[in-house]
């Protein structure tokens, strides 16, 4: 049936096109004749009485010949093949080329005695026929535009005034899309561009009124409701500066997609996205050497534990892009694992050898069976409990999952010949005040112990700050609170954190996996820390509200185990640069591995017994851990 429907649609489309072509031919014949007869009429002072029968006969013969070769030229120039509802400069150029040829032929046939007519008639007829040719073909587009404006007039005369920043190609595409879309409730009032030479000029009829300094004034002058940032090639610091100016206006802000979408012609109203608070961070995105990453990943069997989580799923995406021999997703939560599995299947189909397995890193037999069966070359260990307040109330679970889970995975990796094992860690492991951070510090100690005792497997850890947009991070929480009308809750006005995006965090992990020699803890230079209070206020303003007026901010006090600021390195670890200037190495700290192994056994037994002494025991193993008072 589908095939029949497709065939029938093709059959019905042909006559529709032919009818249009026939109509155009008829109109062209009529208008060409009218044009030259008008030229004859004008030549004799607009009086038919003064025109002799001989002139009328010669002119009629001339017109007949002109009609024949004009129609032929129109066909050759494909003036009967274009879709005139989308007529543009290309169609106009084809009309001009056609009339250059017609002009030459007009002069040639006027040399034939039986066809000779006054040159004034030829000139007027030529100009009028070209005018009619253009009008006939472009009138449909104009009528369509007028009809759309009439039929889709804004309800209750409500119009959204728009300011566009940037006077480049992306803005042209947006203006074109607005002009010929059905959205007549959008009114582009003004364009902003820092190039002073453009000020006072017009782009598609819209005035370029000034640079970024004029944004607040012009927003008020034109009663702007939406600002579109339309400079896809802007450097990160320039984009931040402009967006911060826009943010303070309290107007809804959107931005165009990146340069690749511009090249592919994907810039339109539907491709605009809301400006996110990540656009306002004080640091450019981390860049990695993809050649080194490909060397680490390509052609190898890679396993990601916690592969359905925020970091784990992004690891799977970037690893899949690096063309591994096989990718194994391992997660205890089936819904998360299924979601990333289906995403990768849609993206790569049969070109990616993908295995998705359910299980816990706490299950020794399950872990050993998987590693023995699939023999991964590298394991990215992202499975962990990470919520600070929840782990404060369930400290034994932090030990069971984070510490013992890491130990079991690392031991199984060595036992089954895994070449590289990478632990995802956190800046909360440095001088921890909560059990989650202390458990991650213990995980780092496990990795460094395994590196010393089993150098045939390269063990390493990557430590980074808070990840924007991950499950449980502050931004999704703030967005939900803003959507409900507030209040937005911040623990302390002075609390600060280092931030990075999920792709940045994963880029660091992949790059570090190439640099590792064994036992390192890699740290990212994340620039300046961000005040959480500023983050909340920026997000409120980007949502079009005013902090403390439209949306209240409530300070709830530090939660158990929470610090005002996080460090990235302990004093004794030191700092060493890598070839990537944004990635540093913390040196391993000396420790008694035999004693530590015994302490791990004690932790394991105490956590199983649901002991109330787990925090005390951890503080004895991790000297830098100072538990917050319960």
Burial of 340 (0-12, 13-18, 19+ CB in 10 A): buried
Q: Can you give the pLDDT at residue 563? A: 64
The answer to which of 72-81, 227-236, 500-509 has the lowest mean pLDDT is: 500-509
**What count of Cα atoms within 13 Å lies in the side-chain half-sphere of residue 309?**
23
What pLDDT digit, counting tens, does each position of 210-238 carry?
999 999 999 999 999 889 998 887 777 78
Q: What mean pLDDT comes out for the span 117-121?
A: 87
Q: Can you give the pLDDT at residue 569? A: 45
Write the DSSP symbol of residue 378. E
CA-CA-CA-CA dihedral for 21, 24, 29, 32, to nearest 10 = -140
Distance from C-alpha of 607 to C-alpha of 385, rounded to nearest angstrom: 15
CATH number among 3.10.450.50, 3.40.710.10, 3.40.50.720, 3.40.50.150, domain 290-469+499-531+560-621? 3.40.50.720
CA-CA-CA-CA dihedral for 429, 594, 574, 582, to nearest 10 = -60
Burial of 393 (0-12, 13-18, 19+ CB in 10 A): exposed
What pLDDT digit, counting tens, does each position of 294-331 carry?
888 999 999 999 999 989 999 999 999 889 999 999 99
Q: Can you give the pLDDT at residue 343? A: 94
Angle at 214 between CA 210 and CA 216, to 5 degrees: 145
Q: Where does 385-503 show beta strands of DSSP type E?
A: 420-426, 458-464, 466-468, 488-490, 496-497, 499-501
**Which among 503, 444, 499, 463 is positioned nearest to 310, based on CA atoms?**
503
What pLDDT digit, counting tens, does each position of 272-290 carry?
777 766 666 655 555 667 7
Answer whether 94's CB lies under 8 Å from 77's CB.
Answer: yes
Distance from C-alpha of 492 to C-alpha of 532, rounded to nearest angstrom: 8
Distance from C-alpha of 369 to C-alpha of 350, rounded to nearest angstrom: 25
- Split at pLDDT 50, 70, 90, the class of 505 is confident
Q: Can you give the pLDDT at residue 260? A: 41
Residues in the chain: 630
Strand 499-501 to strand 466-468: parallel, antiparallel, or no bridges (unpaired)? parallel
Q: What mean pLDDT comes out for the span 443-455?
A: 95
Q: What mean pLDDT comes out for the span 123-143?
A: 82
CATH number among 3.30.365.10, 3.40.50.720, 3.30.930.10, 3.30.230.10, domain 159-275? 3.40.50.720
**Residues recognised as catalytic:** 428
How many Cβ atoms sit within 10 Å of the Cβ of residue 256? 26
Q: Can you give the pLDDT at residue 146? A: 61
The residue extents of the domains of the chain are: 16-151, 159-275, 290-469+499-531+560-621
**Which among 105, 134, 136 is positioned nearest to 122, based on CA atoms?**
105
Distance from C-alpha of 403 to C-alpha of 391, rounded to nearest angstrom: 13
Distance from C-alpha of 256 to C-alpha of 254, rounded to nearest angstrom: 7
Answer whether 458's CB lies under 8 Å from 517's CB.
Answer: yes
Asked whether residue 204 carries a pLDDT value surpassing 70, the answer given is: yes
How many Cβ atoms sit within 10 Å of the Cβ of residue 508? 23
The values of phi and psi at residue 163, to 5°, are -110, 135
**Which among 514, 399, 498, 501 is positioned nearest to 460, based on CA atoms?**
514
Distance from C-alpha of 356 to C-alpha of 342, rounded to nearest angstrom: 10
How many Cβ atoms sit within 10 Å of the Cβ of residue 293? 20
User: What are the tokens at 491?
Assistant: 């623990």
pLDDT-above-70 percentage for the chain:
80
Q: Can you give the pLDDT at residue 536? A: 86
More confident residue, 573 or 257: 257
More confident residue, 1 or 556: 556
Q: What mean pLDDT comes out for the span 70-98?
A: 77
Task: Provide the 3-class DSSP secondary structure of residue 450.
Answer: helix
pTM for the model: 0.60
Answer whether 478's CB lies under 8 Å from 536's CB.
Answer: yes
């Amino acid at each position: 049936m589908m095939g029949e429907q497709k065939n029938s649609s093709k059959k019905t489309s042909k006559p529709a096109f032919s009818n249009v072509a026939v109509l155009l031919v008829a109109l062209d014949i009529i208008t060409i004749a009218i044009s030259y007869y008008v030229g004859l009429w004008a030549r004799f002072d607009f009086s038919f009485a003064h025109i002799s029968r001989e002139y009328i006969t010669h002119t009629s013969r001339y017109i007949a010949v002109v009609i024949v070769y004009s129609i032929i030229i129109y066909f050759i120039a494909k003036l009967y093949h274009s879709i005139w509802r989308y007529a543009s400069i290309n169609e106009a150029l084809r009309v001009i080329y056609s009339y250059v040829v017609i002009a030459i032929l007009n002069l040639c046939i006027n040399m034939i005695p039986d066809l000779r007519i006054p040159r004034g008639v030829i000139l007027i007829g030529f100009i009028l026929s070209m005018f009619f040719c253009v009008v006939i073909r472009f009138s449909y587009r104009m009528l369509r535009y007028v009809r759309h404006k009439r039929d889709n007039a804004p309800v209750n005369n409500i119009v959204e005034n728009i300011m566009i920043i940037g006077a480049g190609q992306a803005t042209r595409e947006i203006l074109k899309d607005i002009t010929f879309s059905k959205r007549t409730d959008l009114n582009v009032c003004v364009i902003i561009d820092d190039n002073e030479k453009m000020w006072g000029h017009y782009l598609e009829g819209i005035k370029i009124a000034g640079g970024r300094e004029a944004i607040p004034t012009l927003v008020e002058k034109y009663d702007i409701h939406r600002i579109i940032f339309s400079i896809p090639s802007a450097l990160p610091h320039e984009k931040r500066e402009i967006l911060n100016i826009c943010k303070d206006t309290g107007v809804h802000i959107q931005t165009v997609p990146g340069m690749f979408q511009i090249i592919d012609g994907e810039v339109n109203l539907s491709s605009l996205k809301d400006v996110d608070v990540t656009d306002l961070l004080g640091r450019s995105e981390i860049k990695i050497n993809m050649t080194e990453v490909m060397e680490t990943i390509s052609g190898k069997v890679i396993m990601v534990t916690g592969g359905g989580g925020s970091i784990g799923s992004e690891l799977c995406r970037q690893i899949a892009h690096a063309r591994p021999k096989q990718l194994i997703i391992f997660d205890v939560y089936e819904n998360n694992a299924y979601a990333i599995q289906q995403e990768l299947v849609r993206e790569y189909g049969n070109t990616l050898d993908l295995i998705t397995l359910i299980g816990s890193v706490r299950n020794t037999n399950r872990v050993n069976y998987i590693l023995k069966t699939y023999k991964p070359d590298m394991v990215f260990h992202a499975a962990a409990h990470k919520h600070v307040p929840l782990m404060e109330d369930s400290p034994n679970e932090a030990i069971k999952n984070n510490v013992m889970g890491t130990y079991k995975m690392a031991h199984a990796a060595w036992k089954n010949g895994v070449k590289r094992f990478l632990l995802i860690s956190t800046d909360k492991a440095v001088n921890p005040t909560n059990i989650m951070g202390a458990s991650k510090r213990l995980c780092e100690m496990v990795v460094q112990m395994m590196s010393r005792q089993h150098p045939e497997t390269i063990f390493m850890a990557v430590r980074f700050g808070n990840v924007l947009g991950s499950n449980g991070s502050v931004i999704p929480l703030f967005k939900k609170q803003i959507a409900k009308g507030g209040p937005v809750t911040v623990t302390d006005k002075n609390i600060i954190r280092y931030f990075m995006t999920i792709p940045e965090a994963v880029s660091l992990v992949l790059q570090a996996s190439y640099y590792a020699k064994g036992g390192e803890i890699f740290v990212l230079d994340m620039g300046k820390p961000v005040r959480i209070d500023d983050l909340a206020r920026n997000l409120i303003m980007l949502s079009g509200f005013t902090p403390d007026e439209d949306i209240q901010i409530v300070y709830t006090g530090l939660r158990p185990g929470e610090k005002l600021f996080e460090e990235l390195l302990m004093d004794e670890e030191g700092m060493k640069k890598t070839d990537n200037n944004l990635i540093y190495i913390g040196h391993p700290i000396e420790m008694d591995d035999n004693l530590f192994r015994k302490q791990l056994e004690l932790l394991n037994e105490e956590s199983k017994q649901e002991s109330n002494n787990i925090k005390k025991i951890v503080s004895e193993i991790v000297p830098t851990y100072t538990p917050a008072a319960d």
